[in-house]
Chains A and B, each alone.
Chain A
Amino acid sequence: MHELSIMASLLDVAEEHARAAGAQKVLSIHVVVGERSSFVDDSLLFYFDALTPGRLAEGAKLVIRRTPMRFYCQTCERDYTPPMNSFRCPTCNTTGRLQDDGNACYLEHMEIET
């Protein structure tokens, strides 16, 4: 359900930037969505296809890049992506500092035809 709102919002943002860049057509839209966000690829693609007809992005391809949740382990001095059942470092079992909560949700770039 929430994928519908998010795709409607994406198209508004995309269209605004595409027009400003003088686009006749949007060929592809590249979004970054965190792995821990609740947005499901199939559902995002479904609503994207449902909402694009008649708009500048009609026929455009939606490309989704997933980014992981990341912590920094002070003991091991490196980043780690925690397993689903713990936030602890898989190597030393201490809890690191949160670097990225895995909930990214933004439009990165677009390919347009001018």
Chain B
Amino acid sequence: MTSTDSLGVMHGIRNVKVVKSLLANNDLVAEANRQTFAAHGVLAINIIASPGAGKTSAIIRLIQALEGRARIAVIEGDIAGSIDTEKVLAAGAADAVQINTGGGCHLEASMIQQALDDLDLGQAELLIIENVGNLICPNYWKLGEQLRLCLASTAEGHDKPLKYPDVFAASDVIVINKSDLAELVDFDRKIFIELVRALNEHAPIFEISCRSGAGVAELAEWLLAQRG
């Protein structure tokens, strides 16, 4: 449907094919972040987990496990407060920056880009980004990380992958925390692993306990090896 106005310009209604991710603008910034990480030789890991799964405890365990071999910088994403930043710095993080989303339920690439201004990447081999505790939307907003780590805990139940398939499908590594609680909370690891494998054939699955430290060394070694 077209018409021509008095100046001879065609007017009409047109269909424009786009086929572009709604996150396209975020993805551009994520790519810039990825280049920054690469330029510093830093492996960036985005940890996605529910509240209470043990993200901060896992980061602290990893810092301790790699002490003397690799330094870890941390970006802490939280709705409010800086408790976690203080904790990881006390545990020996190379540097740490807090991002408060002020109620926002996920981190976005632009927030990371801004945080990088205040973070000394030259001091670190690994950068761990602790996303806001949430298994849903953090999965959509890439941050520029080279590795996406999904952390689940036995106490949340073995059906987590069924309820939140996207994060398990899109992660490069799956970690089950609180392995020491498995029996107490009737966590069926066979079911959990079967559900993860239906979504993700290749991601390694690590079982750890941040309480006892079991399994942390294996995870730390694997992460370090990914830096290449």
Contact = CB atoms under 8 A, between A and B. Distances in A.
A81 interface: no
A52 interface: no
B194 interface: yes
Contacts of A98: 169, 198-199
Contact of A101 (B10, B13, B195, B199): B199
A13 B194 contact: no
Contacts of A10: 22
A107 B20 contact: yes
Given A69-B165, A107-B22, A18 B16 contact: yes
A111 B18 CA distance: 11
Nearest to A98: B199
B14 A112 contact: yes
A85 B162 contact: yes
B20 A9 contact: no
Q: Which of B137, B170, B197 has the most CB of A within 10 A?
A: B137
Nearest to B135: A38
B15 A107 contact: no
B104 interface: yes
Contacts of B170: 101
B21 A105 contact: yes
Interface string A23-44: 1100100010000111000000
Interface in A1-16: 1-2, 5-6, 9-10, 12-14
B13 A113 contact: yes
A105 B26 CA distance: 13
A31 B13 CA distance: 19
A92 B161 CA distance: 21
Contacts of B165: 36, 69, 87, 101-103
B93 to A, nearest CB: 28
B22 A13 contact: yes
A114 interface: yes
Contacts of A84: 162
A67 interface: no
A101 B21 contact: no
Contacts of B18: 13-14, 17, 107-110
A21 B15 CA distance: 10
Interface in A70-114: 71, 84-87, 95, 98, 101-103, 105-114
Interface string B15-44: 111111111111000000000000000000
Given A38-B136, A103-B140, 6 more contacts: A21-B14, A37-B166, A102-B165, A110-B16, A111-B16, A112-B16
Interface of B: 10-26, 103-106, 108, 136-137, 139-141, 162, 165-166, 169-170, 194-195, 197-199
